[in-house]
Chains A and B, each alone.
Chain A
């Protein structure tokens, strides 16, 4: 067989073998065996000396082409095998994405605190400071300074836990009003504050009563505060909490520390005012009490009611949360069953 033919045979066999290879190792072996220094092509080229000189360039070119072709066949096959390998690996690595996740748990803020903070943020946006106050308060601040002297019938409206004749568990966050008015420097601008916190009443715990619950008191004192300001503020609050389509209405009421005093109803977010079980078929739900700060309350804090006026409101986060989320038993907030707590993850 001529050298020419030998090389052609080697090319044919080499390409053939490359195509038949099933593993990368076979291709590597093939390259070393065929194209290496000890390989058949190198060996065959030793027969060059028997080839007439004028044919040698042609054979040389042929030999290079044979090498190149085999090399190409090997590389082509390698790409193919690599692709298969990757495909197989991906196939092997395929998982059941419906299996449960590895838990990355964030805790849930208590729904009452979520409700309170939502309201706090609303008022902070309107320039209100958030004040804390005392849970153990003096009779003086909890009652006297709110225009509720001893023997006032309003004291019967709130049964009180006393610690002594003068100390009590505050029955209302309004107890903070006197302290805030005293502390405020009106030359630096209006007093605008809300004070959220825990209050206590001598009540038996049942589905709608709790001896401990929360309130948020709001107070603004400035030179030009009006009932219209109160209405506008509470209207915006109720839209923020209960939805943009809500409306509010005022009904006359009585609190010793405000005059005028109103109860505030919000249009039913459940039925839109048509009447349903939640709003007792009235279309309205009572959500808070409010009014203009009673002149006596201003005077007792050293504020001239002829120059300044104030507005105050008090709302119950428990009531807000019960209405908004359909909680039927106030005790659920204080039992802290984590299944109850965790359903409110991220609601506010």
Chain B
């Protein structure tokens, strides 16, 4: 809401610039910014059209003689259809500056001299949608004679200075000028003064045939009406009109404007109905029936049983607290008016406004709350304004549909506790002074403080609220900087996070860049990599098909990254991600969150350069990364790789499950060529590791051993074997038969092809024997070596070469 400084001055003295005020209010209360309308405007004065003649060379232009307060009238050519003699109008003189950089110069229009421009309100800065409808397609004409030549700015509020306050939902008390005056007044230690509205006793009558009823009293604590008879609807005075259009409200007529003005003044929305258009003399607030229709905002809204409505007989007048339809709108022919001031349940209003897409000034206030203590007064104020401007015959007493007496809130607290929570040592009277500035009544008894909060501050409920009020008005800038002084604590990561950090460091060391992807995937993506065999977990109301399901693998995200980069010629990629996947068991609602560490390698791992030749990524490169990771897990576990064809989007001949003591903890392999093609990525190798499972493995118990003192003896072994026999099987068998001194088995050659029998391959192994306690003899080694060879021949039918 924008707080007009001129308006504010009716309640408190204002001595600072809007910039200073906005700054100070921001720091002590509510985020604010200064608004200075029409700063660019110059040379705009009242003009009196003394005579008007048709333009000799145009059918729509008129030649006006205009008194602008100078010795002679000036001639202005004007095209507005509503321009007429004896009008008081806005004249932009030669040299005038208008909004949007428009500059007015004297000149000739179709041969006729024109020494300025007669303006519409929208041409001098009032948005077209907020100016009175009658001037929509023409110039603005003052209702009353004005002094020609005087500046128009104050008359029309064109250079109004305002403070735009952007409230948090708890401070809706400032959505009225009076509430804002309290807040700004507290900031500057100025108590606002208000004039109580009064009605002309002679016109007030208890005689009214209008009644009110509230069916949902829980939702409508207050529902008050006043009937006003014998109304002559007119235009409201200019001062009210200009305040309204500067609030973004279009002036309509003296009754509607009075209602709207009261809302801005008090923060209490007021409705006005034409009593003669009502289908019944009784206004009832109740819940709609499913399927009821109401024409609002150029649409037929279909209501349901949650919608609170105002009715007269079978006529629906409006959605309570949200918007009123036109069926009983007050117009220039209205004779009898009903003014309504209600308080409607915030949640109910909020939902209705959302449901029907009708959020506005009224619903904004009811959603956040209004002051139950001023409903009666606000209604009286509206009636007073109607009476002032509409020539009223009689005004009814308040007609009550429901009324709840508003009681002030009593908050008890302790001076020491308040100080303690602020980290300050303010004297009692310093605290009570601040509370008094806010208009709260304070009673002190020793350390105890009892604060009576007026109904206009319905956000205040507990001692902590007092802490905030005292602290902000005292000034947060005056708080010292301290650190919590309690018992020392030891900070740190959880052990699982420590493990993850260590593993991430390994991958960074391997040259892999870390990525962060979205957890929400498309349906296709969760189907693509459901290697953990989880139920899919879907959002109830996704925003896009791209982000509909919780991810069950990090691979789809990594593939997106590879594709995105390769489309931009970043061909060589090594990336990893440490994040959670979501695994949901059948029948369970809540998915488990499992920490994964996954990576993708694509393109070359060694670049082609002047001194190196390109080395493309392959299975074994990525397997090497995985093995290095596993070695840093520090787990007392046997890690194995087992060929798998289980994963539909992985290459069936180049993928392995990774197992720890026989339990699957992840996989490594090449993406399926079809999948690669579909995603526009080159050969890409990926791995996934379940960090939670790695973390759960028993820790290795490392016992130091001295470096061997005795030399090792090695033997090389070349075998020819069926190509389907895996290296892993051979190595296991060698270890099984190599005796206790066999320390290491390394494969140094794998060959298939020329000079090798079909369906066979040649493998070369390097066996290292070592006795840590004595010198090994060739005989001992040879004996073991023979056992190894014999076993291989027997088990795998190998040919020793």
Residues of A bordering B, CB below 8 Å: 99-100, 102-103, 105-110, 112-113, 120, 123-132, 134-136, 151, 153-154, 156-157, 161-164, 167, 169, 189-190, 192, 198, 200, 202-204, 211-212, 220, 222-229, 231-233, 235-236, 249-254, 259-263, 292, 294-295, 305-306, 309, 311, 333-339, 341-342
Contact between chains at A134 and B570 (CB < 8 Å): no
Query: Whole-angstrom distance between the alpha carbons of A132 and B495 in the complex?
Result: 12
Residues of A with C-beta under 8 A to B190: none
Contact status of A222 and B486, CB under 8 A, knowing A113-B516, A227-B422, A262-B476: yes
Q: Using Cβ atoms and an 8 Å threshold, which residues of chain B touch A164?
A: 540, 589
Which of chain B's residues have a CB closer than 8 A to the CB of A198? 519, 579
Residue B590, interface by CB 8 Å:
yes
Task: Give min CB distance, A223 to chain B, whole Å.
Answer: 7
Cβ distance A232 to chain B, nearest Cβ, rounded Å: 4
For B611, the chain A residues whose CB sits under 8 A away are 99, 102
In the complex, the answer to whether B512 meets A336 with C-beta atoms within 8 Å is no
Closest A residue to B501 by CB, please name it. Answer: A117
Contact B471 A227 (CB under 8 A): yes
What string of 1s and 0s marks CB contacts (under 8 Å) between B461-488 and chain A? 0111101100110001101111111111
A292/B464 contact (C-beta < 8 A), A151-B347, A250-B479, A251-B26 known:
yes
In the complex, which residues of chain B have a beta carbon less than 8 angstroms from the beta carbon of A130? 491-494, 497
Is there an interface contact between B485 and A254, defined as CB atoms closer than 8 Å? no
* Interface contact B421-A226, CB-CB below 8 Å: yes
Please measure, in the bound complex, the distance between the C-alpha atom of A196 and the C-alpha atom of B443, giving whole angstroms: 44
- Chain A residues closer than 8 Å to B39, beta-carbon distance: none
Q: Specify which of B468, B509, B539, B570 is in contact with A337 (CB 8 Å cutoff).
A: B570
Q: Do B573 and A259 touch (CB < 8 A)? A: no
B481 touches A231 (CB 8 A): yes
Q: Given that A99-B610, A211-B543 are contacting pairs, would A338 and B476 also be in contact in the complex, using a CB cutoff of 8 Å?
A: no
A224 partner residues in chain B, CB cutoff 8 A? 420, 484-486
Choose among B31, B472, B481 the residue with the greatest number of A CB atoms under 10 Å from its CB: B481
Distance of B500 from chain A, by nearest CB (Å): 10
Q: A106-B508, A192-B491 are in contact. Are A226 and B422 (CB under 8 A)?
A: yes
CA distance A99 to B487 in the complex (A): 58
**Complex CA distance for A327 and B609, rounded to whole angstroms:** 33
Q: A99-B610, A226-B420, A229-B484 are in contact. Are A211 and B547 (CB under 8 A)?
A: yes
- A to B CB contacts below 8 Å, 6 in the list: A110-B513, A124-B492, A132-B497, A136-B591, A200-B520, A251-B476
Give the distance in Å from the alpha carbon of A339 to the alpha carbon of B487 in the complex: 46
Instruction: Report the minimal beta-carbon distance from B502 to chain A, rounded to whole angstroms.
Output: 13
**What residues of A have a CB within 8 angstroms of the CB of B367 in the complex?**
153
Q: How far is the CA of A113 from the CA of B513 in the complex (A)?
A: 12
Q: Are B476 and A249 in contact (CB under 8 A)?
A: yes
| CB-based contact A226/B508 at 8 Å | no
Find out whether the CB atom of B481 lies under 8 angstroms from the CB atom of A107. no
Known contacts A113-B516, A127-B488: does B565 contact A228 (CB below 8 Å)? Answer: no
User: With A107-B510, A151-B347, A227-B421 in contact, is A163–B539 under 8 Å at CB?
Assistant: yes
Known: A132-B497, A229-B484, A260-B471. Contact between A162 and B575, CB under 8 A?
no
Q: Could you tell me if A131 and B494 are in contact, using CB atoms closer than 8 angstroms? A: yes
Residues of A within 8 A of B550 (CB): 136
| B763 within 8 A of partner (CB) | no
- Residues of chain A within 8 A of B31, CB atoms compared: 251, 253, 263
Whether the pair B593, A136 counts as a contact (CB closer than 8 A) is yes
* A50 to B421 alpha-carbon distance, docked (Å): 123
Asked whether B514 is an interface residue with its Cβ less than 8 Å from the other chain, the reply is: yes
Which residues does chain A contribute within 8 Å of B479, judged by CB atoms? 227-228, 231, 250
B87 part of interface (Cβ distance < 8 Å): no
Which of B477, B487, B542 contacts A161, CB < 8 Å?
B542
Q: Do B593 and A233 touch (CB < 8 A)?
A: no
* Bound Cα distance A220, B487 (Å): 12
Which residues of B are at the interface with A, using a C-beta cutoff of 8 A?
A: 26-31, 168-171, 346-347, 350-351, 354, 367-368, 417, 420-424, 462-465, 467-468, 471-472, 476-477, 479-494, 497, 504, 507-520, 537-543, 547, 550, 561, 564-565, 568, 570, 573-576, 579-580, 582, 589-591, 593, 606-607, 609-612
Within the complex, the shortest CB–CB distance from B421 to chain A, in Å, comes to: 6
Checking A162, A225, A254, A260 against B467 with a beta-carbon cut-off of 8 angstroms, the contacting residue is A260
- Tell whether A250 pairs with B482 under 8 Å between CB atoms, given A226-B423, A292-B464: no
Chain B residue with Cβ nearest A345? B513
7 nearest CB pairs, A to B = A228-B423, A226-B423, A254-B168, A260-B468, A250-B476, A232-B481, A151-B347
Expressed in whole angstroms, the Cα–Cα distance for A190 and B590 within the complex equals 32
Distance from B435 Cβ to chain A, minimum over Cβ atoms (Å): 15
Minimum CB–CB distance for A199 against chain B, Å: 10
Q: Are A105 and B511 touching (Cβ within 8 A)? A: yes
Closest to A233 in B: B483
A107, B484: Cβ atoms under 8 Å?
no
Contact B462 A295 (CB under 8 A): yes
Choose one: B421, B476, B510, B540; the contact of A231 (CB below 8 Å).
B476
Between A134, A156, A227, A294, the greatest number of chain B beta carbons within 10 A of the residue's beta carbon is seen for A227
Contact partner of B481 among A127, A203, A235, A305, CB < 8 A? A235
B492–A254 CB distance below 8 A: no
* B576: A residues at CB distance < 8 A: 107
Closest chain B residue to A214, Cβ basis: B516
- Does B421 lie within 8 Å of A309, measured CB to CB? yes
CA distance A120 to B497 in the complex (A): 12
- Taken together as a complex, chains A and B put the C-alpha atoms of A167 and B26 apart, in Å, by 37
A200 and B611 alpha carbons, distance in the complex (Å)? 48
**Alpha-carbon distance between A211 and B481 when the two chains are bound, in angstroms:** 35
A228 touches B519 (CB 8 A): no
Question: Can you name 19 extra interface pairs (CB under 8 A) apart from A227-B421, A228-B482?
Answer: A108-B508, A120-B493, A124-B491, A132-B497, A134-B593, A135-B593, A136-B593, A162-B540, A163-B589, A192-B491, A198-B579, A223-B486, A228-B480, A229-B483, A231-B479, A231-B482, A232-B481, A306-B417, A341-B515
Tell me which residues across on chain A come within 8 A of B347, comparing CB atoms: 151
Contact between B481 and A189 (Cβ–Cβ < 8 Å)? no
With both beta carbons as reference points, the residue of chain A lying nearest to B419 in the complex is identified as A226
Closest Cβ–Cβ distance, residue B515 to chain A (whole Å): 4
Asked if B350 and A156 make an inter-chain contact with CB atoms under 8 angstroms apart, the answer reads yes
Residues of B within 8 A of A106 (CB): 508-509, 511
Cα distance A313–B230 in the bound complex, in angstroms = 60
Knowing A107-B510, A163-B537, the reply to whether A249 touches B477 (Cβ < 8 A) is yes
Q: B493: nearest residue on chain A (CB-CB)?
A: A130
Nearest chain-B residue to A235 (Cβ)? B481
Q: B490 — which chain A residues lie within 8 A by C-beta?
A: 127
B583 to chain A, nearest CB (A): 11
Q: How far is the CA of A112 from the CA of B518 in the complex (A)?
A: 13
Please name all residues of chain A whose beta carbon is closer than 8 Å to the beta carbon of B171 when the two chains form the complex. Answer: 254
Whether the pair A341, B514 counts as a contact (CB closer than 8 A) is: yes
Quick check: A110 and B494 within 8 Å, CB to CB?
A: no
Residue of B whose beta carbon sits closest to that of A113: B514
Q: A136-B590, A167-B589, A341-B513 are in contact. Are A107 and B541 (CB under 8 A)?
A: no
Given contacts A108-B508, A135-B580, A162-B540, contact A189 B482 (CB under 8 A): no
A190 to B487, CA, bound (A): 7
The interface residues of chain A lying within 8 Å CB-to-CB of B489 are: 127-129, 189-190, 192
Measured CA separation A260–B582 after assembly (Å): 37
From A162, A169, A226, residue with most partner B Cβ within 10 Å:
A226
Q: Is the CB of A252 within 8 A of B515?
A: no
B462 and A227 contact, CB distance less than 8 A: no
| A residues in contact with B570, CB < 8 Å | 337-339
Contact in complex: A128, B514 (CB < 8 Å)? no
Could you tell me if A259 and B487 are in contact, using CB atoms closer than 8 angstroms?
Answer: no
A335 to chain B: which residues have CB within 8 Å? Answer: 561, 564
CA of A278 to CA of B209 in the docked complex: distance in angstroms? 63
A residues in contact with B565, CB < 8 Å: 336-338
Closest to B170 in A: A254
| Pairwise interchain contact B504-A109, C-beta atoms closer than 8 A | yes
With A134-B593, A189-B489, A211-B543 as given contacts, are A110 and B472 in contact (CB-CB < 8 Å)? no
